[in-house]
Structure 1
């Protein structure tokens, strides 16, 4: 994960794709802003089931362009009027049940706006980020899903 350089809008505080665990508190702190009346934090967590089947683990594999694409998405949302600060990261590698796979944090002046932006950001990441997910089930089978 990296903090964007000086040529990136200062609203964009943190963006990354990494095989290291994601610390949600770092993302929440990254969007701290004196003008913010709301900070919304979303954590996408590996759950123990999918469509009635038990899940043992997930494996995320990212295209080499994944961090660049995530930065582009984040930059688009950071440029929206009212967004004061934004941070977003996605994990790759093998994750266990309970591990955090995606974190998005947004600060705005008002709660409704923060919830809206964060929700749309998460959906856009899921739609465009070139990361593929392999689910391993309790019966020993696996499947690849959510390939953009």
Structure 2
């Protein structure tokens, strides 16, 4: 088992401080190891250390990452910026995720959250309703998905 696998295992088991210590050793020895920087960010985020996680996410995104890790790092950074009330940075990163990974619906949901924070409530609701209609397996939602999609951008319209 590699040191990185060990650190990931510890992060998954909730041994976050141990994982962080090992990940720091890895990034000290291999400063271009994108996945280690990403895991370091994730471990800090998991401890509620969002501010500390930001530079690690940013560093990871400057380096080579697998598509899966890049998507996770973009989502992590965008979400973290949102929790820190840095909404414009969050919006930029989440839009990057939407553009790079259009098949990953989680970006739209987190983007809707940041739109809410920015006071763009109509667009936030529209995006959430479309995601609900497109992704729900609930029979009632499926039965009404066409109507939900139709009304998604007409929430303020009144029919007489």
Q: Which has the larger radius of gyration?
A: 2
* The two structures share one fold, judged by TM-score above 0.5: no
Q: TM-score, normalised by structure 2?
A: 0.28
Q: TM-score, normalised by structure 1?
A: 0.30
| Greater helix share, structure number | 2
Kindly indicate whether structure 1 or structure 2 has the higher relative contact order, using CA contacts under 8 Å at least 6 residues apart. 1
| Greater strand share, structure number | 1
